[in-house]
Structure 1
Amino acid sequence: MKKIKIYFAGSIRGGREDMEIYSNLIDFLGNYGTVLTEHVGHKNVEETVEVDKSDFAIYDQDIAWLRECDLLVAEVSHPSIGVGYEIGVAESLGKKILCLYNEEAPKRLSAMLAGNDKISTCFYNSIEHAKRCIGETLKNL
């Protein structure tokens, strides 16, 4: 399997409750390719990575990475406007998209994702289950 470029999306400003899940998934994805957005898994991303960047610079960088990536993997258990926007941009660019949704999340998955047949969605119940979904997606890439 060739090394691919992966854009990982997870909530930053919308809440960091799932940061450890993001970090675990990003580490796993690193076995398959370059994770362009590995900072999403960093504990203090807003205070470290984003501190010296304007919102405009962050937007420009993220759009460039979305154009560059082969696959968008989005952990969508915690609602985030930014993640939803990234998914929409990736769809408009014709990118392969995998959304991971924890079945134990307190809120239902948005119908805009769950009802979109251009998006693969994995309803997972453990990190290992989510990793199996990622592996299956990568096999079909």
Structure 2
Amino acid sequence: MDIYFGGSIRGGRSDVDLYAAIIDLLEDHGTVLTEHVGKENVEEKEAEVGLTDADIYEQDLTWLRRADVVVAEVTTPSLGVGYELGRAVAWGKPVCCLYRPDGDHDLSAMVRGNGDVEVIEYETVADVEADLAEFLRGH
């Protein structure tokens, strides 16, 4: 199974360690196409390789098209992740959003209100493991 993982990059990297832990869980179920989201200094590494914004856009859409499922951590709002979610839903991809309700922002009604998006609320990575595994087994 190819898994697209989305998490805030330019909107804030305070959750990078959390992203890495979630990616570790996802790797038990398939190939995470976007494991770089869980790494420190991802923007600097993209710049070192010479990736333009257009390159990143095309690369991410290629991975998104290839993915069997999309999982996103949406506690930190991100325009890019929101765009990815919209495209994934439009393409009929199964989408699961992970959200910590104790965060600084309420989850958008555009995500929570979308019947094509499964939302899992959690506090710790251990809390989400079983529900995430169930979502992945169902797709």
TM bracket, shorter-chain basis:
over 0.9
Identity of aligned residues (%): 46
Residue type matched to 2:5 in 1? F
Give 1:106's match in structure 2, choosing from 99, 104, 107: 104
Q: Is the 8 A contact 1:39 1:49 kept in 2?
A: no
Structure 1, residues 73-101: CA drift from partner, whole Å, max 9, x if none? 00000000000000001011100000000
Give the CA deviation at 1:104: 1.4
Q: Secondary structure at the match of 1:7?
A: strand
- Find the counterpart in structure 1 of residue 34 from structure 2: 37
TM-score (norm 2): 0.96
Give the CA deviation at 1:34: 0.5
Q: Is the 8 A contact 1:74 1:98 kept in 2?
A: yes
Q: Bigger shift: 114-123 or 128-137?
A: 128-137
Higher helix share: 2
Q: Secondary structure at the match of 1:78?
A: coil
TM-score (norm 1): 0.95
- Find the counterpart in structure 2 of residue 56 from structure 1: 54
Q: How many residues align?
A: 138
Residue type matched to 2:73 in 1? E
Q: Provide runs of 4+ in structure 1 moved above 6 Å.
A: none
Give the CA deviation at 1:126: 1.4
- Find the counterpart in structure 1 of residue 132 from structure 2: 134
1:27 aligns with 2:24: yes
Unpaired stretches in structure 1, ≥5 consecutive residues: none
Residue type matched to 2:84 in 1? E
Q: Secondary structure at the match of 1:61?
A: helix
Give 1:6's match in structure 2, choosing from 3, 6, 19: 3
Q: Secondary structure at the match of 2:11?
A: coil
Residue type matched to 1:23 in 2? A
Structure 1, residues 43-99: CA drift from partner, whole Å, max 9, x if none? 110011343201111000111111100010000000000000000010111000000
Unpaired stretches in structure 2, ≥5 consecutive residues: none
Q: CA RMSD in A?
A: 0.9
- Find the counterpart in structure 1 of residue 69 from structure 2: 71
